[in-house]
Structure 1
């Protein structure tokens, strides 16, 4: 992954999510998602971005599900299934998971969580003896014993020991598998075996998934309670053992002192009163008496509790009284600290930080800074932090790392069909394959910052993208579109590639995410302009030959019939401008330049190639544009 600005893949630094499969969870019918150090989910509201994060939260942290959480178009019994495949296993991971799930030869580990008709089950990929799996998946010790004894009777050559207890039989089966590796095969091992009858998760201490929801309350996560963010930090960083032991000792001393006080001041009085009550009761019934004793209160030692407050200049406030932006910043800072201490305490555990809409309540400059901090955190292996978020903000998308973007879309085949979610992903390999024979690898790397940083991040969020050569083209088409409806209302974005030769790379990326419209100049009038400038015939011929070749190469790459000088809509996704856009404006829309001059003279615009001035003139020009200018607008809207 050295190209396009991406960093090399890690090799065995810490456990990482490699891929996720989700079936029948809320709006997700059946999706597969590859994960990176940073995984960015984009897409319109309701597309399913947050559902991916919440499916992972259920996989790792559990929670109650019901039939309302099942995808509406499912067949058969209600069933939800989430698969997570991990990579970069360390020796600590292998030791914790055990040789069945993480043998020395395995580079990945896969686990499933399945909810079916109210039952929740965990399972993992393992090397196992298939007949043992039916025994391991038994839901009670009694059914397990029956299945084990049946196998023992049917296959006496296995030489299995007699049943004594469930735990002993588990050990016996593992010993047998260890001694007979040639008879094992890949299997999905039952949940009680993977996570224990007492619910001990084998991933506990190896991998933490923390979801910061859009409505998460920082005040709740800042309380010293088990499972909260602050609670996890305190658990990892503060040793309260001696303090709690002293509190327990103090509770015992108080109990002894209280017993002595009761004996000194109450015991005698209560004994006298009990004797009198017993005498009164004896007049009604025989053989019974009344005892009165002081109740010794059970003094449970109180564990140490930590309070979090914020010093705001001269005022100390609760977390809840701070602004929402600060509250989310506090949560993220706390998680960073949690990740840092996960490394310092030697546990080597990894945190996957998942955030819904990280841009919420953030000032634009803070959002940019927040994005940079998250990227820096996830980019350093020693932080043991994997980051994923669902966002609507281009601040959290870096076009250099396009392969970390997952575009989530929801569509249906008709009004009578259930909507399905699809997730598009532009991989490095797929983009390189598209560019093979058109762009050299070395050129790709050299051009990377120039091509992708300008408008591509915003284009990732659009329903359709118009890819043009330069900023002037973008300004003109933005203005022409606004004469009827702004492109932004249609969800259309225009991205400028800064030259015809630079169209290839952004087109390859956008094509993997969504088919873009390419608009370019055919430069057919270049020969005449060079002759008018007195250029040498040989130079004119050479330039003309290169222009024709460039046009043909681009058309061939776009899958369109090759021509020297294509014109107009040559395909639904390709429009060629006759000569240049400037010459089209001069010849077919001269009123545009008059409007531009009026805007400059009035002080509303700036002379020269100025984007806002060009766009405003195209929008307010009293003469209506015609020809290829409208062809581009129509082609763009046809994409959606």
Structure 2
């Protein structure tokens, strides 16, 4: 099963927010705005962390994280049958209260009719009461009726009358699954990689670690299938049994070492006055645990050492290599899985990878390779959830995965901005995706305080340099080369959806050499840009004809970005008052 949506209330900087989820979720935003708080809320839900009193927002006494899960397999549908909705999803809320208590509650579709409610089953279990109700034909014909008989009859009646029963969708009053404490892992496996972490934690042989989980599976497989392994376990068990007073059948052991017998007698003699005696019993170790406890991971990158002696970059790379292996193993297991009878309350086979700033210690090329691996991981029936400050870990084509986290007010708390609907269709989608290859660093726009949308490489080259010459340049403004004037409206649409401030900078294109048809075409493109701008978010600045003319270049020169750069860097170049005002307006 997979997370479809999350609602968070009163968790740290979050007053209340709702987030729609994709298989790949990328949380971005400025520091101290709440990205890590979103991840920690998920970790709280999955039982990976326990809430402290300081986790409650602004003095709240109660908090909750609520998740709707969809895409349930047959195991999930059996385990969570009570909570399954008509659309095949389940909805679960985890509460926490100041002082340390917490509990899970599920949402159930309660029939409107009182006689169909499971909570009323006890009061309906008298036959004289039940025989007047529509579900009576589904009850045993004779004998004493039990509460379970009523519940089964209610369920059969509902099943036999699809569409004929009205429901209220409400949170249950009792504990989730009827359990006071829900077992960790019931919703699936969680692999959490925090921003700053010693990789030795991931590569320890403890079952709680990522390596330990994978390694334990290998140990269990060998233990079940290897003849040598089975023989060793039998011999080890036999060896240890010779040390005990009684054998496996509870009879006296004649082969017990005399040294151990004498040791027991000596100790018992000392306790004679107490009427007590000593019995030394040797418990054979579990060979699987012996192998786990005595396993270490060594790295040979020219020098063979343990992992903690390697650099942070290599440690980080090893952690992500481990995640990739886990993903490949999960894919292989799912591919060979054979449908079988599902046992009740089996833990979900779902896997969630939660990563905090995975780009740390990785150079840009490694970041891009990592992103490719994470995308592949998310496309293999896993969910990948991360927060990042790296544009290399964002793909604008996957804009539905991007969630911008903002906190403009402590009172309102952390909020999110995301786009879950299709922005582009048909040729517009194709044109937008093609522009990626013209400007592969365009993902930076999601981190910008303001985006300057320009037509091409000359504008992108000159505008920042002119701003530096004027002393108005700002690093939090990003210039995006849209590839052409006609692509600017596509970027306007994207930025509108994410409420990112922008200025569309384009040419009027009424050069003297242009004919009437050329000018009409340019006016049409200009009108499309103006129509795409949301005036509450964006604005426009228009060059008289083009930026080359604005800086006084001769029309028609080739290699324009370099020639234009040389032109404005030459001694004696003076920027016009009109152009200086436009540049200052872009960077205000």
The two structures share one fold, judged by TM-score above 0.5: yes
Q: How does 1:304-323 map to 2 (within 5 A)?
A: 304-306=290-292, 307-313=295-301, 315-323=303-311
**Partner residue, 2:161:** none
**Partner residue, 1:299:** 283
**Partner residue, 2:395:** 398
Shift of 1:55: 0.9
Counterpart Cα distance in 1 of 2:94 and 2:32:
24
Counterpart Cα distance in 1 of 2:178 and 2:576:
69
Matching residue within 68, 77, 81 for 2:64: 81
Q: How does 1:113-124 map to 2 (within 5 A)?
A: 113-117=94-98, 118-124=100-106
Distance 1:617 1:420, change over 3 A: farther
1:184-212 Cα shifts (integer Å, max 9, x gaps): 532223563426246336x62x6222211
Counterpart Cα distance in 2 of 1:614 and 1:254:
90
Distance 1:129 1:292, change over 3 A: same
Matching residue within 150, 168, 179 for 1:196: 179
Counterpart Cα distance in 2 of 1:224 and 1:578:
68
Shift of 1:59: 0.7
**Partner residue, 1:139:** none
**Partner residue, 1:576:** 542
Shift of 1:21: 1.4
Shift of 1:237: 3.3
TM-score, scaled relative to structure 1: 0.73
Gaps of 5+ in 2: 134-144, 159-164, 225-229, 246-252, 338-347
Instruction: Report if the CA contact (8 A) 2:359-2:390 is conserved.
Output: yes
Please say if 1:255 is aligned against 2:255: no
Q: How does 1:106-185 map to 2 (within 5 A)?
A: 106-117=87-98, 118-128=100-110, 157=129, 171=148, 174-175=151-152, 177-181=154-158, 182=165, 184-185=167-168
**Partner residue, 1:521:** 507
TM-score, scaled relative to structure 2: 0.79
Shift of 1:509: 0.8
1:104-134 Cα shifts (integer Å, max 9, x gaps): x423222111112332111222223588999
**Partner residue, 2:198:** 217
Please say if 1:389 is aligned against 2:371: no
1:75-127 Cα shifts (integer Å, max 9, x gaps): xx4222111112222223212222x2225x42322211111233211122222
Distance 1:250 1:395, change over 3 A: farther
Counterpart Cα distance in 2 of 1:629 and 1:152:
83
Gaps of 5+ in 1: 1-14, 137-146, 161-167, 279-288, 433-439, 531-539, 561-569, 598-606
Distance 1:88 1:246, change over 3 A: farther
Q: How does 1:465-484 map to 2 (within 5 A)?
A: 465-484=451-470
Matching residue within 435, 445, 452 for 2:430: 445
Instruction: Report if the CA contact (8 A) 1:483-1:620 is conserved.
Output: no
Matching residue within 332, 338, 346 for 2:320: 332
1:519-559 Cα shifts (integer Å, max 9, x gaps): 111122x2x224xxxxxxxxx22222222233233323336
Cα RMSD (Å) of the superposition? 3.8
Distance 1:152 1:259, change over 3 A: farther
Shift of 1:173: 6.9
Counterpart Cα distance in 2 of 1:53 and 1:268:
60
Instruction: Report if the CA contact (8 A) 1:479-1:617 is conserved.
Output: no
Please say if 1:362 is aligned against 2:362: yes
Please say if 1:500 is aligned against 2:504: no
